Chain A
Amino acid sequence: MVTATVLEAELLALAGSVPDPELPVLTLAELGVVRAVRLRSAGTAEVDLTPTYTGCPAIEAMSADIERLLHAHGVAEVTVRTVLAPAWSTDDITDEGRRKLREFGIAPPRVHRGPGPVPVTLGATRTLTTPPEPVHCPHCGSAETELLSRFSSTACKALRRCLACREPFDHFKEL
């Protein structure tokens, strides 16, 4: 990455402070989706934003929120570019972001493993995961949880249920 000026770093922090439209407990910086801010000239900024999923509909709301905030802080021209490469990964979510997800009732994604589905064995009526690291229930902390569906309320989440407290919960699945 090109060395950013002090002002660019400030604008990056500002853009990163925008809350995620679908998970408002998280900021875009904690989600790891704001890649860079460049000043083209005085009052003209270009922001690089990466989508979590290629089809994530929240990206348009994110762009609009960033533009509005930078305008409000005196940047006259703001262009938000969507960049795909390098592809976003759930490993880009910060530790603070993970903590907030858990507090919000969403099990954070596990780290340091390859992306993609965790291999499962097929049970009689449902799949029980046997991953190297269990997904903990965000409510009671139990490691005894089961997968109900790989797809949930948004593309980035899977639906699970805790076998200890019986509460269903969303899991931010690894990508």
Chain B
Amino acid sequence: MSATTATTAALALGDDALVLSHRLGEWAGHAPVLEEEVALANIALDLLGQARVLLSSAGDEDELAYLREERAFTNLQLVEQPNGDFAHTIARQLYFSTYQHLLYERLAAGEGEFAGLAAKAVKEVAYHRDHAEQWTLRLGDGTDVSHARMRAACEALWRFTGEMFEPVPGLDVDTDALRTAWRESVDTVLRRATLTLPEGPDSGGWAAGAGRQGLHTESFGRMLAEMQHLHRSHPGASW
């Protein structure tokens, strides 16, 4: 693997973890119950730890997190989607943590650049996946309102899921097999939750798989502005 493709892959996975970590952090002070507040913050912390390792392998972690422009981020569009209601956050978690868990299992089993981190992170992500699955069951197979909200969230985020299975230079995984395993897993969970796998297209015609190419959705710029403004306003500040 060349240094360049290793960096491309580290940035892609690192940006996924960093951006989702920030989104989950936005729940602090707003989660429906205290236990959930703590759970989402813990998941965010795990992701931030993974992001630090990945971004540090590609350069200076702070410069990469705080000083890049929107177009330089190569995270999936899925992870930058606004939190929405709790069901949207859980649907995003279900889609992403299932993908991340299956991906890291494969990377951990290989001997590539990311095997060490993946072997470490896969154990953490197993808890994220379990958390998302438990909530999907509870909301889907819950009240009429929670069922309707969970279904709406799964439908709304579906068009961002296809991008997860676009090949990433530097990542030695069979993306078709990954997609099959992912669909099977998500389908099983949704069925148990009395929901169904959405049927619409899993990518948008206007920018299919474009997050990895640096194209992002409208809300991402506002999220980055909030994430970066302190560092940019006070360069070198510490406390």
Judged by a CB distance under 8 angstroms, whether B214 is at the interface is no
Do B48 and A55 have beta carbons less than 8 Å apart? yes
Do B45 and A55 have beta carbons less than 8 Å apart? yes
Closest residue of chain A to B40, judged by CB?
A: A151
Do B38 and A85 have beta carbons less than 8 Å apart? no
Do A150 and B121 have beta carbons less than 8 Å apart? no
**Distance A151 CA – B27 CA, assembled complex (angstroms):** 15
Complex interface residues of chain B between 25 and 57 (CB less than 8 A to chain A): 35-36, 38-39, 41-43, 45-50, 52-53
Main secondary structure of the interface of A (DSSP, over half): loop
**Distance A122 CA – B36 CA, assembled complex (angstroms):** 17
Q: Which of B35, B48, B134 contacts A148 (CB 8 A)?
A: B35
Do B117 and A149 have beta carbons less than 8 Å apart? no
Judged by a CB distance under 8 angstroms, whether A56 is at the interface is yes
Contacts of B119 in A (CB 8 A): 84-87
Chain B interface size, as a band, is: 20 to 34
Judged by a CB distance under 8 angstroms, whether A130 is at the interface is no
Contacts of A54 in B (CB 8 A): 46, 49-50, 52-53, 117, 120-121, 124
**Distance A51 CA – B52 CA, assembled complex (angstroms):** 13
Do A85 and B120 have beta carbons less than 8 Å apart? yes
Judged by a CB distance under 8 angstroms, whether B179 is at the interface is no
Closest residue of chain A to B33, judged by CB?
A: A149
Complex interface residues of chain A between 112 and 143 (CB less than 8 A to chain B): 115-117, 120, 122, 127
Q: Which of A55, A86, A87, A175 contacts B47 (CB 8 A)?
A: A55
- Shortest A80–chain B CB gap in Å is 16
- Shortest B198–chain A CB gap in Å is 23
Do A117 and B116 have beta carbons less than 8 Å apart? no
Q: Known contacts being A54-B53, A54-B117, A56-B49, is A122 close to B137, with CB within 8 Å?
A: yes
Do B38 and A53 have beta carbons less than 8 Å apart? no
Contacts of B106 in A (CB 8 A): none
Q: Which of B47, B50, B127, B138 has the most CB of A within 10 A?
A: B127
**Distance A77 CA – B43 CA, assembled complex (angstroms):** 36
Complex interface residues of chain B between 96 and 132 (CB less than 8 A to chain A): 115-117, 119-121, 123-124, 126-127, 130-131
Judged by a CB distance under 8 angstroms, whether A17 is at the interface is no
- Shortest A87–chain B CB gap in Å is 4
Do B39 and A151 have beta carbons less than 8 Å apart? yes
Contacts of B50 in A (CB 8 A): 54-55
Contacts of B41 in A (CB 8 A): 151
Q: Which of A57, A127, A152 contacts B38 (CB 8 A)?
A: A152
**Distance A86 CA – B49 CA, assembled complex (angstroms):** 17
Contacts of B53 in A (CB 8 A): 54, 84
Do B134 and A175 have beta carbons less than 8 Å apart? no
Do B35 and A159 have beta carbons less than 8 Å apart? yes
**Distance A104 CA – B43 CA, assembled complex (angstroms):** 25
Q: Which of A55, A56, A154 has the most CB of B within 10 A?
A: A55
Judged by a CB distance under 8 angstroms, whether A70 is at the interface is no
**Distance A127 CA – B141 CA, assembled complex (angstroms):** 14
Do A122 and B134 have beta carbons less than 8 Å apart? yes
Q: Which of B48, B127, B137 contacts A117 (CB 8 A)?
A: B127
- Shortest B120–chain A CB gap in Å is 4
Q: Which of B39, B47, B52, B116 contacts A150 (CB 8 A)?
A: B39
- Shortest B58–chain A CB gap in Å is 16
Contacts of A85 in B (CB 8 A): 115-116, 119-120
> Which B residues lie at the A interface, using CB under 8 A?
35-36, 38-39, 41-43, 45-50, 52-53, 115-117, 119-121, 123-124, 126-127, 130-131, 134, 137-138, 141
Q: List 25 A-B contacts (CB under 8 A).
A: A53-B46, A53-B124, A54-B46, A54-B52, A54-B120, A54-B124, A55-B45, A55-B47, A55-B48, A57-B45, A85-B120, A87-B116, A116-B126, A122-B137, A122-B138, A122-B141, A148-B35, A151-B41, A151-B43, A152-B38, A152-B42, A155-B46, A155-B124, A159-B35, A175-B123
